[in-house]
Structure 1
C-alpha cells in the first residue's frame, strides 16, 4: 500500500487573598487581619511565585479557537504549540508571545489529533479525510492525505527517530507507515484509540479493538507482545489515554475512574490506581525528567502528580464550561504545561514554582498548599479534627473510619471497620464517637480499641456536649437520646420524634442543641429541660454554631447558606447565590472569621462572616463535608475522590 500522492506543606505556609475583590472590601479585610486567605489550588510543598511571575489572561490563554480542542503538542524545540480542534483547524502558536502563527491549517471536518516530527519540520494532522502532513516552515500541505482508514483517522504519532508514522482510525485499526517511502508497512493492527511510541521506538501502545484493555506491539515485527493490560483494577472502567514515561519503564493509562501505572518490562500494575479527579480522566503526559505526570479530566481540572511518591501535588481549574475535549502536554524543557478543555488552551509555568495561570482559571499568584490523605477505597463522607489538632478522623463509603496524624499526614493504626457515616471527637480528644448502620461505637484514640457501644441501633448523627459528659445520638427510630459517657447509660431523650436527623450541634455553652430533620426543619432545644425553644424555617440539611454562640448557619437551600441570630432566631444574612446547587454542609472557623460551605456545584467556598462575601475563588471538587482545624489555619475537605485534603489557610504576618 502507498500513501496517496504526492510537595506536603508545613505550618509555616502562607496564603494571600485572591485577586478580584473590590478595593474597599480587600482593604477592610486586610485591616481586620494581618494576612488574607485564598482558597484556591496550587502545588503542594512548592514555593509560590511572586505576582510578577503570574500568567495573566492575556498571556496564558490561546485565543481564537472556536470549537472543542482535542489534542495539543509542543514542537521539539518548544517554540511552537499545535492544537487540533472541532472548528476544522489545526493551528500553530508561538509559545512565547502566545500569538497564532499564520493562518490555520484547514480541514474539511474536525481535526482530532496533531503530532510534530522529531525535527519539527513536519506537522501531522488527523481527521475525517485521513492524515495530512504539513511543512511547518513553508506552511504548505505535503502531498495528499493518507486515506486508508474507513471513517477517518483518530490519532497520529511519529516514532522518536521520525522514520515511522502510526495512525489509528475509527475502523478499529492502527497502521504503520514508512515516512520516507510513504508506504504502509505490514498489515493493520487490530487496535484503536490512543497510540503512543516508547522512547526507543521499538514498542507501540494502543487500545484493543475488542475490549477495554491496552496492548503493546513490537513495531518491527508488527506483533503483540505480552498480555493485555486491563483497567479491571478499578471497576473495569474504560481506557481513555496512554503515555510512556520518558525512560520507557512505565506506561500510564487514563480511565473513567483514575490513572493506572504499568511496569512495561514485567507488564504488571505498579501500586494502586491514582485517584483524585471526580470525572473521567482523559489525557496524560509525563514531564521530560519523568518525575511529574500531568492529567486532564472531564471534571474541568488538570492535575499534577509526583510519580515516585504516587500522590497528587497540585490541581487547577482550566477555566472552561464544557466537558467536550481534554488534552495535556509538557514542553520539552519541562517548564510549561499546556492543558485544554472545550475551546480553552492554557499555558502554565511549572518550573519549580507554583502553577500560575490567570485568576480566571481559579488561582491567585500565591496560593495555599494542600496535603492529600489517601487510603480510603470509597467516597469519603465525614471528617473531624480532634480538639487538640493532632488528629483527623475520616469516614468512608468503604465501611471504614480512619485516624490520621495531621503533622505527618500519615494514617495511624489499622482502619476501624464498620458501616459508618458520622464521626465526632470528645472535647478532650481522647474518645472518638463513630455512628452509622452499626449503631454508635466509642473508640479509645490512644489505645486504638473500642471502649463502649452506646447504641446498637442505626444512627444518623452524633454530637458530644461541650463539657464531654454527654453524647447525643440521633437513632433510626426517630429518637434523639442522651448518653451519660462516664456512667455508660442512657440519660433521657427529646420529647418529640424527629425523622432522620441529618445534622445537629451544641451551642458552645452547651445550653442549646440544634437539630435538622429529614423534613428540613431546624429546631432548637433547651438541653436542661429538653424542651423545644424555637425553629428556624425549613429546607435545611446542615447546621453549625459560631464559636461565640451568637450565630447559627444553616445550609440546604439553593439560596446559599443562611445566617441566624441565635437569641432572636431571626435571619440576619445569607451567603451569595452566585453559585448553583444546594449547600450541603456548613462549618465555622474556630476564630469565627470564616464560614465554609460545601455546594452542589462541586465546590467548597469560604465566606467572610462579617461581610458575608465570598473570599477568593472556590475549591473545586465533589465534596461531602468540611472541617476547620482548631487553630483555623487548615480546612479539611472530603468527598468523591476517596481522600481527605488539608488546605493551608495560614495568614501572612
Structure 2
C-alpha cells in the first residue's frame, strides 16, 4: 500500500510563465504543482511538492539548481530541483507580478505591484532566515510587468503599466533616480539588454509594449561624464544601518568613477588601453528606431529575447507568434498556433527551440524554428475529465472529458499521443478491449464509438433507433458484445411536452415511462448490429460491468437496485439485489466471486453474485467527510451533502477497494476486515473549493464569501475564470460577479491491471499514484541465519539455489537480482522446479523489473519459461493472488516485443536498401 504521487495527466499547462533550464527541461505551472518535461528524453513528470494555491510565477537559477515558485496568495517555495525538495518558504506582502534571478544567481528581483524588491538568493547553506531583503525600488506609478538583468548582474530593467521602462543600478540606493525610457503608448510587455558579440558590453535596449511597438534604444558613447552626483533628498540618519549601506554604495561608485577617470587619462597616451566603464543609468540613450508588429487589433501578450542570436519572439492575443532578427527587425517566421491568447513565449538556452503556452486551451508547444518542426505538442482537457481506462498491459491510459474529446496517454512518458474528437457531446465512459489495441467510448451525443489504436481512426459506431444518452459502458471478456447504459432520452422532453396538456405528471405511470426510455443496449462488436435491448431499470443506469470470469452482466441504477443479466441466453434479469437508497456504481472483483456497489447513503455493499446474499457493508460517510464549501452554512463534520462514493474499484488482487466521490479524499479499505487503511488527499490547493475544513469567518460579507466576489476592474490575465465570464457575457469592467470556484472531487477511479499504480480523474486533472521505488524492508520467514552475509557465503561456495532462497526470504531486491544471475543457464530448470510456491510472486516481480532495464533478454525469458512449466497448475489455482505480478511480467514482455519489432523492421528496410544500392565492381 506504499502508493506515492507519480504524475499529473490531462493538464500540461494552465497559465503562468514557462521556463527552460540549461539542460533542456521545460518547467511549467499546472495548478498548484510544477510539471517538468525533459525535451531531450521525451519524458514528463510532475514534481511532488504542492503550493498553497495556483502557481502564477516561476523562476530558475542560471545553473538549474533551484526553482522559485510563487502562487496566487504570494507564498513562495524555494525548491532543490535535483531532489524535488522544498528548502525554504517565504510570504510576500503583495501579489507578485514579475520574478527573475540574476545571471550570477546571487540575487532575486521580485515585482510586487508598484514595487521592486531585491532579495539575496539562498543556496545550499543552512540558515535560520535565508531570504534577506537588500533594497526596494518604489518609483513606479503602475504595476511592474517585466524584469530583466544585465549580463554582469549590476543593472536591472523594469517595465510597468505606467508606460515606462526604468533602468536601475544596484550599487546605488537613493543617490540618483533611475533612467527612464519613455515614448510607449501602452503597457510594457518586455524590456531586454542587447550586448556586443565581441566585447560583451551592453550597447542597446529593446522595449516592447502591448500595442505592438518595439523601440530600439542605442547607447551614446561620446558623452561628457565627470561623475557628478546629486545629493540625497532625504539623507539617512547618522549611525543607522541605512547610512552605512548608503556610504558603502557611494564608496563603491566613487571607486568606479575614479577608475573611469584614470582610464580616460591613460587612453590619450596608450592606444591599447581599455575603454572606461560606462554607468548605464548615467549615460545618454538615443531612440534610434520604432518598429511595429502590425497584427491589427491583436495585442502582444508574451515575448522573449535571445541575447546571443539577437532575436525577439512575440506571442499575440489572436494566437499568432512572430520571430524577428534584430536590430534590423527582419521577420523570420510569422505563424498561428491557435485562435486564443498566447500566455507565455520563451527561448531555450541555445535559441533553437521556442516554447509557447496557451492557458485557455491548456496547450504547450515547443517548436524548432530552423527545421520548422515540433519538438513537443501537448494539449490537455480544458473541461472536467469524466472517465479513465487502463489498457490491459498498463502501458496506456485513456481519458474522456466534457470537451467531447478522447485522449490516449503513455503512462511511462506522460505524453498524449492521439486525440479523438469525433464525439459531439461529453464523453462519459471508456473501456479497453482485451486485444489492447481497441478503445470503446460512450457519449451523451447518443453514440458508442470504437477506436483503432493502430490506424488511429473510428472504425465502428454503435447507434440506437432513437436518440439516447449513454453514461456507462462494458464489454464481455471475449470482446464480442458491447453494452451501454442510458441516462436519458432526447425523446423524453417531446414526450412530456406532447402529453402534458392531456394528462398530469401524477397520472403518468413512472414505471412505464422509464421502462421505455431507460434501457441497456447490446451490440455485436464485429458487425455493429444491435442485438438486444434490456429493459427493467426505472432510473438512469450509471453502473455497468461484465463478470471477468463469466457472461453475467451487472448493472446499477438510481432505482435502488442492482441487476444481474444473462446476455447470451436472452433470459433477461437473472437476479435483482434491492437497496434502500439509489445505487451509484457497481464493480466486480477480479475473480468474479464478489460484487461491490455504492449507494447514496455513503455505504459500500458487497454481494455474492452466485448466491444473491449480502456478505457485508462498509459505512464510509465519516471517512469521506472533509472539506467545506464556501457557500456551506454548516461545518464539514456536520454537513450531509455529498457524503457518498460515486466511483469505486477493486485492487488487482481483490483484497482492497478504492472509493472516491465529492470530497478531497480517496479512501482505501480492506475488504475482508472492513476497515479503512488509508486516505489519500487529492490536493491542498486553496484555489479550489472544498479543501479547507474550517472557513475564516472574517471573509464572510452580506453579499457572500469574499473569495467569491470579483470587483476587480483591471485587465487580468486570461484563465479559467475569464473563460467562464466571457461565456456568460458578464465580463464587464467594474462589474461585481460571483465567479465561483471549482470544487475538488473525484469522478472516476481505475487501478492498473498490474496493481502497481492507480489513476483518479479529479478537478485538478488525472492524478497517477504508483508504488514507491524506494526500498522497504519486508522480510519473509526471517531467521537468525538468514542474513546478507549468509547469501554471500552461499554464492562463494557456488550454492546458487540456496543463495536464491535466502535472498527471497530476506526480500531484498538487490540480493534477489544478484542471485538470479548467479544461476547457470543449465541449472535453471532444476532451480525453478524446486522453488517453493510462496516465493513465486516475489521472483516474478523481480523478473518483471529486470526485463525493463536488463539486456540479458534470452536468459530472463528462459527463467520465465521454466517457471511456467514447473508451476503451471499452481498458477492456475492461485490466479487471483498472482494476477498483479503476472500482468507486470506481461507488460514488460510486451514492451520488449514492441521494441524488438521496431528494431527488426528498421534493420530489414536498411538491409534491403543496402542490397539494392550495392554494385558489382568492374
Q: Normalization by structure 2: what TM-score?
A: 0.40
Question: Corresponding residue for 2:833?
Answer: none
Question: Corresponding residue for 1:465?
Answer: 547
Among 531, 539, 544, the residue aligned to 1:452: 531
- State how far apart, in whole Å, the 1-side matches of 2:36 and 2:889 are: 16
Deviations 1:559-600 (A, max 9, x none): 8433444345x2152234585555554334434455544556
Question: Corresponding residue for 2:51?
Answer: none
Deviations 1:516-561 (A, max 9, x none): 2334332223323444443221422222223333333323375843
Corresponding position: 1:86 with 2:106: no
- State how far apart, in whole Å, the 2-side matches of 1:242 and 1:18 are: 34
Question: Corresponding residue for 1:370?
Answer: 414
Question: Corresponding residue for 2:478?
Answer: 428
Corresponding position: 1:586 with 2:766: no
Structure having greater relative contact order (Cα 8 Å, sep ≥ 6): 1
Are the structure 2 counterparts of residues 404 and 136 from structure 1 closer, same or farther at C-alpha, using a change threshold of 3 Å? farther
1:503 offset after TM fit, Å? 1.8
Question: Corresponding residue for 1:284?
Answer: 345
Among 661, 666, 672, the residue aligned to 1:556: 661
- State how far apart, in whole Å, the 2-side matches of 1:310 and 1:399 are: 37
8 Å CA contact retained: 2:163, 2:184 = yes
Which piece of structure 1 moves more, 133-142 or 480-489?
133-142
Secondary structure in structure 2 of the residue aligned to 1:587: strand
Are the structure 2 counterparts of residues 290 and 484 from structure 1 closer, same or farther at C-alpha, using a change threshold of 3 Å? farther
- State how far apart, in whole Å, the 2-side matches of 1:498 and 1:82 are: 61
1:505 offset after TM fit, Å? 0.5
Question: Corresponding residue for 2:605?
Answer: 523
8 Å CA contact retained: 2:751, 2:758 = yes
Question: Corresponding residue for 1:390?
Answer: 437
Question: Corresponding residue for 1:134?
Answer: 167
Alignment of 1:231-310 (within 5 A): 241=302, 252-253=315-316, 269-270=336-337, 282-287=343-348, 289-295=351-357, 305=366, 308-309=373-374
Are the structure 2 counterparts of residues 106 and 41 from structure 1 closer, same or farther at C-alpha, using a change threshold of 3 Å? closer
Are the structure 2 counterparts of residues 131 and 585 from structure 1 closer, same or farther at C-alpha, using a change threshold of 3 Å? same
8 Å CA contact retained: 1:511, 1:526 = yes
- State how far apart, in whole Å, the 2-side matches of 1:100 and 1:302 are: 34
Among 563, 576, 594, the residue aligned to 1:494: 576
Question: Corresponding residue for 1:571?
Answer: 675
Corresponding position: 1:535 with 2:617: yes
Deviations 1:599-641 (A, max 9, x none): 56656252659x9x9xxxxxxxxxxxxxx99935999xxxxxx
Secondary structure in structure 2 of the residue aligned to 1:528: coil
- State how far apart, in whole Å, the 1-side matches of 2:890 and 2:111 are: 41
8 Å CA contact retained: 1:481, 1:491 = yes
Question: Corresponding residue for 2:563?
Answer: 481
Alignment of 1:159-170 (within 5 A): 165-166=206-207, 168=209
- State how far apart, in whole Å, the 1-side matches of 2:577 and 2:600 are: 17
- State how far apart, in whole Å, the 1-side matches of 2:461 and 2:122 are: 48
Which piece of structure 1 moves more, 241-250 or 450-459?
241-250
1:369 offset after TM fit, Å? 1.5
8 Å CA contact retained: 2:104, 2:153 = no
Corresponding position: 1:107 with 2:169: no
Deviations 1:176-230 (A, max 9, x none): 6562499xxxxxxxxxxxxxxxxxxxxxxxxxxxxxxxxxxxx988778465569
8 Å CA contact retained: 1:383, 1:393 = yes
Are the structure 2 counterparts of residues 97 and 550 from structure 1 closer, same or farther at C-alpha, using a change threshold of 3 Å? closer
Which piece of structure 1 moves more, 540-549 or 387-396?
387-396
Deviations 1:400-442 (A, max 9, x none): 6555566x69455377687433333321234443444465444
Are the structure 2 counterparts of residues 250 and 107 from structure 1 closer, same or farther at C-alpha, using a change threshold of 3 Å? closer
Question: Corresponding residue for 2:887?
Answer: 631
Secondary structure in structure 2 of the residue aligned to 1:536: strand
8 Å CA contact retained: 1:444, 1:450 = yes
Are the structure 2 counterparts of residues 466 and 175 from structure 1 closer, same or farther at C-alpha, using a change threshold of 3 Å? closer
1:469 offset after TM fit, Å? 1.3
Alignment of 1:40-439 (within 5 A): 42-43=37-38, 46=41, 55=65, 60=81, 66=92, 68-71=95-98, 83-86=109-112, 88-89=115-116, 91=118, 106-108=137-139, 110-115=143-148, 123-127=156-160, 131-134=164-167, 144-146=179-181, 153-157=187-191, 165-166=206-207, 168=209, 177=215, 179-180=217-218, 225=294, 228=297, 241=302, 252-253=315-316, 269-270=336-337, 282-287=343-348, 289-295=351-357, 305=366, 308-309=373-374, 311-312=376-377, 368-372=412-416, 373-376=418-421, 381-394=428-441, 403=450, 410-413=456-459, 419-437=469-487
1:126 offset after TM fit, Å? 1.7
Please tell me whether Structure 1 or Structure 2 has the larger radius of gyration of its CA atoms: 2
8 Å CA contact retained: 2:303, 2:312 = no
Question: Corresponding residue for 2:326?
Answer: none
User: Which consecutive unaligned segments of at least 5 residues does structure 1 have?
Assistant: 1-15, 20-38, 183-218, 231-238, 274-279, 316-366, 614-627, 636-653
Q: CA RMSD in A?
A: 5.8
- State how far apart, in whole Å, the 1-side matches of 2:40 and 2:208 are: 40
8 Å CA contact retained: 1:82, 1:92 = yes
Question: Corresponding residue for 2:594?
Answer: 512
Question: Corresponding residue for 2:908?
Answer: none
Deviations 1:70-121 (A, max 9, x none): 345689x998997441172265999999999995562345532124689999
- State how far apart, in whole Å, the 1-side matches of 2:374 and 2:523 are: 31
Are the structure 2 counterparts of residues 272 and 490 from structure 1 closer, same or farther at C-alpha, using a change threshold of 3 Å? farther
Are the structure 2 counterparts of residues 575 and 533 from structure 1 closer, same or farther at C-alpha, using a change threshold of 3 Å? same
Question: Corresponding residue for 1:324?
Answer: none
Q: Normalization by structure 1: what TM-score?
A: 0.53
Q: Which has the higher helix share?
A: 2
8 Å CA contact retained: 1:526, 1:532 = yes
1:125 offset after TM fit, Å? 0.8
- State how far apart, in whole Å, the 1-side matches of 2:770 and 2:523 are: 34
8 Å CA contact retained: 2:345, 2:354 = no
- State how far apart, in whole Å, the 1-side matches of 2:885 and 2:470 are: 22
1:269 offset after TM fit, Å? 4.3
8 Å CA contact retained: 1:471, 1:483 = yes
8 Å CA contact retained: 2:101, 2:109 = no
8 Å CA contact retained: 1:565, 1:572 = yes
8 Å CA contact retained: 1:229, 1:267 = no
User: Which consecutive unaligned segments of at least 5 residues does structure 2 have?
Assistant: 7-33, 45-62, 67-77, 82-86, 196-202, 221-287, 324-330, 381-410, 490-518, 622-643, 684-690, 692-743, 777-883, 892-922
- State how far apart, in whole Å, the 1-side matches of 2:333 and 2:187 are: 31
Secondary structure in structure 2 of the residue aligned to 1:494: strand
8 Å CA contact retained: 1:112, 1:127 = yes
Are the structure 2 counterparts of residues 415 and 78 from structure 1 closer, same or farther at C-alpha, using a change threshold of 3 Å? farther
1:168 offset after TM fit, Å? 3.8
